[in-house]
Structure 1
Amino acid sequence: MGLLSNRVTRESLKPGDHIYSWRAAYIYAHHGIYIGDDKVIHFTRRGQEVGTGTVLDVLLISSGPARREHCPTCCPPDEANGVVSSCLNCFLAGGALYRFEYSVNPSLFLAKARGGTCTLAVSDPNDDVVHRAKYLLENGFGCYNVFKNNCEDFAIYCKTGLLVVDQGTIGRSGQAASIIGGPLAAVLSTPLRLVTTNVYGMAATAVGVYCASRYAADIGMRRDVVKISVEDLTRRLAAGLLQVVEPQISVNLGRQSPQFLSH
């Protein structure tokens, strides 16, 4: 893997790897956990879903696997669950294979301007990652939400066990942070037009705001997360103690003390 690309070969994969493949002309990447034997567990838009009411709902329809006819490896999808097991070919849907990076240093994180490719957070041992993925395959991962609980959020949880407890902010997804961070940078840099007409200065400020928002929203930097076992997570979901609320396009640039929100 290099500075600009996380592309890897199939032969380099090992159980517990967080992998992804770009979809819809590189607009969106679909993420999952490789568990070995050519199988990937991933979270899709099947079952319950909180939509955005925007064009994103159309663009992200490709989040599911492109299941081939009579594929002997892929498990029949559970329409009420959303977590599925697919063969690697169906997961990739004809796209290239990439591996998500963990424990990257801040300079590398910021150099990879596109979100959803790496994180500052530390990954847990691969055995723990595979256990979480298989457990969630049987028990589900809650309601799919583009900004708060998507396929990247699923993979990051499997890798780290970290859960965002403040449901008023975005989830763990670097893609969501990038989608929100772009408009945020544009909005916050707009007042500069009142004091300068230097387009380069405004562009530099917008880039700076974008990078700061991505950095602050990364799962490895946030304080609004807690470590929670997969068994406890599914119990809370079943009991209705955790929920995904309607998406609010906002980024928490500060740090908060973690606390569980229940209803």
Structure 2
Amino acid sequence: MGLLSNRVRKDSLKPGDHIYSWRSAYIYAHHGIYVGDNKVIHFTRQGQEFGTGTVLDIVLLSSVPARSPVPCSTCTLPEAHGVVSSCLNCFLSGGVLYRFEYAVTPALFLAKARGGTCTLAVSDPDDIVVHRANYLLTNGFGCYNVFKNNCEDFAIYCKTGLLVVDQSRMGQSGQAVSIIGGPLAAVLSTPLRLVTTNVYGMAATAVGVYCVSRYAADIGMRKDVVKLPVEDLTSRLATGALQIVEPSLPVFLPPAN
């Protein structure tokens, strides 16, 4: 792995690795946790990884990698909760294998302008990561949401145990931040047109706003997160009791009677 690419060989994987593969001509990536024995646990929209539930599906579904019409005998059938176990080949679906990087330096994080490839956050030990992934395979990870609770959010939680518990806010996903951050940077840089016609100046400002938004929204920098045991997570998701009152002071309230 390096500055330009996180591409890795299959024989270099170890249980607990957070892996991903780009879909739809690098428009977005699908993420999962490699748990060993050629198996990947990942979070999908009701078992359909090529779907977001938004208008983005028009683009995404039109250019996905081809799949074999013959069902794979080693992969689990899609569950209602969307967490599935697949063989590595089915997970990649004809795409290229990449490994998500943890505990990167701020310089490297900003150099990788595309979100969804690395984070400043530190990963937990591999055995804990695999335990979380296997537990969520049985118990689920809540409702899929492309911006608040997607496959990258799932993989990052498995790796770190960190969760954004205010569901009105953006999730952990770096690629979701990138999707929103680009247009946001363009909008915020637009007022410069009132004082300058320098295209390069406006472009530099837009890039700066985008980088700052990505850095501040990274799971390793955010203050509105808590470290939550996986057993506690699934029980509270089931009862709807997971809440946060202040970003710096997480509070878990009992479910309403």
Q: Same fold (TM over 0.5)?
A: yes
SS in 1 for 2:119: coil
Amino acid at match of 1:75: T
Deviations, residues 64-109 of structure 1 (Å, cap 9, x unaligned): 995762422111121x110000000000000000000000000000
Residue 76 of structure 1 is matched in structure 2 by 77
Give the 3 Å change call, closer, same or farther, for CA 35–56 of structure 1 in structure 2: same
Residue 257 of structure 1 is matched in structure 2 by 248
State percent identity of aligned pairs: 79
1:65 and 1:125 map into 2 onto residues whose CA distance is 35
1:258 Cα deviation from its structure 2 partner: 3.9
1:52 Cα deviation from its structure 2 partner: 7.5
1:17 and 1:214 map into 2 onto residues whose CA distance is 23
| Contact preservation (8 Å) 2:44, 2:151 | yes
1:63 and 1:239 map into 2 onto residues whose CA distance is 36
SS in 2 for 1:45: coil
1:55 Cα deviation from its structure 2 partner: 2.1
SS in 2 for 1:33: strand
| Contact preservation (8 Å) 1:161, 1:229 | yes
- Determine if the alignment matches structure 1 residue 109 to structure 2 residue 100: no
Pairing 1:33-72 to 2, within 5 Å after superposition: 33-46=33-46, 54-60=54-60, 66=67, 69-72=70-73
Give the 3 Å change call, closer, same or farther, for CA 9–230 of structure 1 in structure 2: same
Residue 173 of structure 1 is matched in structure 2 by 173
1:89 and 1:58 map into 2 onto residues whose CA distance is 25
Deviations, residues 92-128 of structure 1 (Å, cap 9, x unaligned): 0000000000000000000000000000000000000
SS in 2 for 1:84: strand
Residue 129 of structure 2 is matched in structure 1 by 129
Give the 3 Å change call, closer, same or farther, for CA 242–10 of structure 1 in structure 2: same
1:241 Cα deviation from its structure 2 partner: 1.6
| Contact preservation (8 Å) 2:9, 2:97 | yes
- TM-score w.r.t. structure 2 length? 0.91
Residue 157 of structure 1 is matched in structure 2 by 157
Deviations, residues 193-224 of structure 1 (Å, cap 9, x unaligned): 00000000000000000000000000000000
SS in 2 for 1:25: coil
1:168 Cα deviation from its structure 2 partner: 2.3
Residue 249 of structure 1 is matched in structure 2 by none
Give the 3 Å change call, closer, same or farther, for CA 159–55 of structure 1 in structure 2: same
Amino acid at match of 2:152: E
Q: How many residues align?
A: 249
1:58 Cα deviation from its structure 2 partner: 3.4
Give the 3 Å change call, closer, same or farther, for CA 153–13 of structure 1 in structure 2: same
| Contact preservation (8 Å) 1:153, 1:172 | yes
RMSD: 2.3
Structure 2: runs of 5+ lacking an equivalent: none
Residue 250 of structure 1 is matched in structure 2 by none
1:261 Cα deviation from its structure 2 partner: 7.0
Give the 3 Å change call, closer, same or farther, for CA 15–52 of structure 1 in structure 2: closer
Deviations, residues 222-261 of structure 1 (Å, cap 9, x unaligned): 0000000000000001111238xxxxxxxxxxx9424347
Residue 240 of structure 1 is matched in structure 2 by 240
- TM-score w.r.t. structure 1 length? 0.89
| Contact preservation (8 Å) 1:16, 1:126 | yes
| Contact preservation (8 Å) 1:30, 1:63 | no
Give the 3 Å change call, closer, same or farther, for CA 7–97 of structure 1 in structure 2: same
